Amino acid sequence: MDTTLTRRLAGAALLGTILVSPLGAADQAAAAPRHGFTPHPAVAWGSNLDGRLGDGTTQPRQTPVAVTGLLSVAQLGAGTGYGIALLANGTLRAWGDNERGPLGDGTETDHSTPGVVTGLDEVTAVAAGAVHALALRRDGTVWAWGDNSSGQLGLGVIDPNPQLTPVRVPGLTKVRAIFARDSYSMAMLADGTVLAWGNNSAGVLGNGTFGTDDPHPTPVRGLHGVRTIAAGSGHVLALRRDGTVLSWGANNFGQLGRGTVSQTPSPLPAPVEGLTGVAAIATGLRHSLALRKDGTVRSWGDNSAGELGVGVFGGVRDRPVTVRRLAGARAVAAGFDTSYALSRGDDHVVHAWGRDDTGQLGDGSTTGRALPVTIQTSLDAVAAVVAGNGFALAAG
């Protein structure tokens, strides 16, 4: 286990002087439970520090292995060093690094197999931040636990002491969807309003400012007609119902897709340049992905590890470009410096590209890829994939 929270957050990499922390992925290629949803087992691969793969060991895996005991997964999330699963019965299981309490079991003890998140049932969605987590219950309320040092639990206070078991976020009702990443959180209400709270060093709260954290859920300015959110490490995307995408936050690697690169965050939503017909979005450490309705994928931002999938390593792309050798995609996800897609044509496989130093691409090697490679899993049909720090999870 990492010895300090500072050491953990430093693992995100540096966005200039912007303080950001490692990502969760609950808002990526994972659907919330729905009527008729078929339960799924789960697999994991990549780094296994602190048991984040959930297979009962701390041994790294370069190809997918089963997460112990998970046979009815409805949704997955991945934090910095932990995994979390919503089961079909509305309860939660979590495993891996538990410093600051993201596993929600009342302790800060790591465990390498899934354990019960205390006191929650009737959960319909889960979202994983760096070292905090959110749960949406059937009654439209939101519950939070873990680190609160930036006010990311939405409790109205910034507290250096973690919350080790779930507590209700006050004042939040009629919530339709939740999102978490790094040290901030977001909620979409039934009326389409999007609220944000927590760390605002990169302007991700979308309130027109950056640098001042806010522990109170506050509306993101200028959003309407929003279908979903992708919360990234220092930047955010919003997919509108008309198939266009808005972005805000850090832009020092062109991750906002506006045709510019700037060391100054952009704290208000504005359109991603030239992007239409989008069906899904995903955000990584310093890059972004958009799945278009025609099954092609666009990428932009940092390409130092090949995470844009354009066939070369290095450089930035400040406007969306097409991921090569990938067609007929049906979902996208992003890890730190990695990208993933699911295929319409073969639902048994995962496509992956980008950094692979811990085996997080899952192709049996530790060789980074600037073009998509195909990963075979033991799953009958891959329904979801999410990624954290050097590891990935899939259910199907």
pLDDT at position 39 is 61
pLDDT at position 40 is 87
Residues of the chain with pLDDT under 50: 1-37
Domain of residue 292, residue span: 5-395
pTM here?
Answer: 0.92
Residue with tokens 């950001």: 20
CATH number, residue 282:
2.130.10.30
Residue pLDDT, tens place only, 182-227:
999 999 999 989 999 999 999 999 999 999 999 999 999 999 899 9
Number of domains in the chain: 1
